[in-house]
Amino acid sequence: MATPVLTASDVSKRFGPVQALRGVDFHVGPGEVHALLGINGAGKSTFIKILSGIIQKDGGTLTVAGREVHFRTPEDAIRAGIATVQQHPELVADMSGLDNIFLGRETAGRGLFARIDRAGLEARAEALLARFAVPLDLRQEVGQMSAVEREAVAILQALAVDGIRVLILDEPTSTLTEVEREDLFALMNQLKTRGISIIYITHQLEEVFAIADSFSVFRAGTCVARMSVAEARESRVSLAELMLGEAVGDVFPPKAGAPAGEALLELEGLGRPHEFTDITLQARRGEILGIFGLVGSGCDELSKTIFGALPAARGTIRVHGREVALRSPRAALDAGIFLVPGDRRSEGLALSRPALFNVPLANLRRASGGFWALRRGRLRRDAQELTRQVALHPPSLTTPASGFSGGNQQKIVLAKGLYSQADIYIFVEPTVGVDIGARAKIYAQMRALARTAAVVVISSDCDEVHGVADRTVALHKGRLVAPAARGFSRDDLLMAGIMGEVAA
């Protein structure tokens, strides 16, 4: 076995009364893709922040290429050869790929009058592209790039520093299509052949067998398992059971047994130019309606039109049988519609504010009792109950939303929806970046909501839509594809979403 390029021995970290890491042993070899797995709250993020120099360990040792290292800042980690691409890379949308790659490192010297060598930067960028064969136009603004191109820019930004031995990728595929994911995997394999080790964090367990050489599982702040993917495949190891520490049942709750009730939401001939056209459907009390569509199918735009964030060009929306004009999200909320958006960070949360601030935002009338002043004591009790109901971890009402994992951020959005007391709930990509344990809890909450409300689940994950919904349709290039009376099988739903066809 080759000497590990990175080793952690007996690493520990405590935050106040919470022991986030205890006695963690970990290593990754040269040119190895090593998946780091664990449910939200298992300690993965804390460990990665220690490796990245964002926070400092309380105990234990770290070695890089056989030499003990101590990180006090991210720059220390980079100098030691460890670079990190966060789950949501902080790129500047209106700057070019080239400018983003060298942002903060444009000059060789320091000081106010240090000169930017533009030709030198372009030459270094071309060398990076030649080394890793990434098909990118670095003159293009990042905001105009696809998701996988932005991820590639973030990776090149990390590798632009000489001497990088270990690259940490935190959930890089959470917003990618299947094709884009394969493109990213091809880039990762290139990095691997160049001898760069990759620590790969993902909640998509099938990706472990597709790209990784080995994996470690964190649970309750400790590393409970490490093995090669070949060994796991041969012995038929359940990654989900290793993560949860218990046998895994069906992640989807039982479907509705009783017939659906009255139509709470009705769309008739709804359309927006170049996005979707002639959408006619109903969502009923007591059921979950599933809409499957790939990225670019019009699903996101449809959800925002129903929620009043985008204007409909034609068609009608009826709520409780009455036609409504939803010209703003405020109007949609007043009509009893709540949207759990696909991008919770920019559209669903005030990231700098805590759960106590976020939870009541969709129903300030309830928070104030109809008066001008908030009923703070009642609000705190309600927020505590709802965050307990959605199993927020840690159960803090005062921690900024940005301090929670992706799965727990989604739970705050869900608590906000419960507080709104809506009649119609629309979930868009509800489990992106969410571990299998939290996913099951979110699906169970959807089913509980559907007992008294209409629930619409819109997702590019066909298995998710088919597994959780009572009734399914597909959206293909802006057109609705509905099944015959017998309903969609899983394969028929996939075909409808990809090809726009209903199987004969």
Sheet holding 263-272, edge to edge: 276-284, 263-272, 314-319, 322-324
Structural domain ending residue among the three candidates 213, 244, 275: 244
Strands 263-272, 82-85: pairing kind? unpaired
Q: Is the peptide bond before 394 cis (omega within 30 degrees of 0)?
A: yes
| Distances, alpha carbon 326 to alpha carbons 307, 329, 458, in Å | 7, 7, 20
Domain assignment of residue 466, yes or no: yes
Q: How far is residue 93 from each of residues 90, 97, 153, 295, 475, measured CA to CA in Å?
A: 9, 9, 11, 20, 29
| End position of a domain, from candidates 209, 244, 279 | 244
Same domain (yes/no): 355, 474:
yes
Residue 149 to residue 93: CA distance in whole angstroms = 12
Neighbours of 151 (CB within 10 A): 24
355 and 283 together in one domain: yes
Tokens 């460990």, located at residue: 47
Residues paired with residue 36 on neighbouring β-strands, in sequence order: 201, 216
Predicted confidence (pLDDT) per residue in 213-259, tens digit? 999 999 989 999 999 999 999 999 888 888 888 666 678 888 887 78
Report the CATH number at residue 19. 3.40.50.300
Residue given tokens 């000169």 in the structure block = 115
Assigned domain for 32 exists: yes
166 found inside a domain: yes
pTM of the model: 0.76
pLDDT at residue number 106: 77
Task: Please state the length of the chain.
Answer: 504
**C-beta of residue 471 within 8 angstroms of C-beta of residue 287:** yes
> Is there a single domain that holds both residue 204 and residue 166?
yes
For residues 166 and 308, membership in a common domain is answered with no
Domain endpoint, select from 211, 244, 277: 244
Q: For residue 54, give its domain range.
A: 6-244
**Torsion sign over Cα 486, 487, 490, 495:** positive
d(C-alpha 196, C-alpha 359), whole Å: 43
Residue 504 lies inside a defined structural domain of this protein: no
Which stretch of DSSP H or E encloses residue 196?
Answer: none
- Give yes or no: residues 210 and 356 share one domain: no
Ranges of residues in the chain with a pLDDT under 50 are none
Backbone torsions φ then ψ of 403, nearest 5 degrees: -85, 0
The whole-angstrom separation of Cα 243 and Cα 223 is 10
Same domain, 447 and 298: yes
Helix (H/G/I), strand (E/B), else coil: 265: strand
Same-domain check for residues 298 and 199: no
Q: Where are the alpha helices (DSSP H) in 369-420?
A: 376-389, 406-420
Tens digit of pLDDT for each residue in 16-61?
A: 888 999 999 999 999 999 999 998 778 998 999 999 999 999 999 9
Answer yes or no: is 435 within a domain: yes
Q: Are residues 226 and 333 in the same domain?
A: no
Residue 197 has what pLDDT? 97
Same domain as 270, residue 123:
no
Q: Which residue do the tokens 């070695």 mark?
A: 63
- Whether 12 is covered by a domain: the verdict is yes
C-beta atoms surrounding 228 within 10 Å = 14
Cα–chain center distance at 472: 23
Please give the tally of structural domains in the chain: 2
Regarding whether 200 and 271 lie in a shared domain, the answer is: no
Give residue 203's pLDDT. 86
Q: What's the Cα-to-Cα distance from 402 to each of 44, 232, 441, rounded to whole Å? A: 16, 34, 21
Task: Report d(CA 465, CA 494) in Å as an integer.
Answer: 10
Cα-based distances in Å from 332 to 286, 424, 430: 20, 10, 20
User: Does residue 361 form part of some domain?
Assistant: yes
Q: Are residues 91 and 189 in the same domain?
A: yes
**Residue 23 domain-assigned?**
yes
What pLDDT score was predicted for residue 181?
Answer: 85
For the stretch 176-206, pLDDT in tens is 777 788 888 998 999 999 999 999 999 888 8
β-partners of residue 43 are none
One domain, residues 229 and 273: no
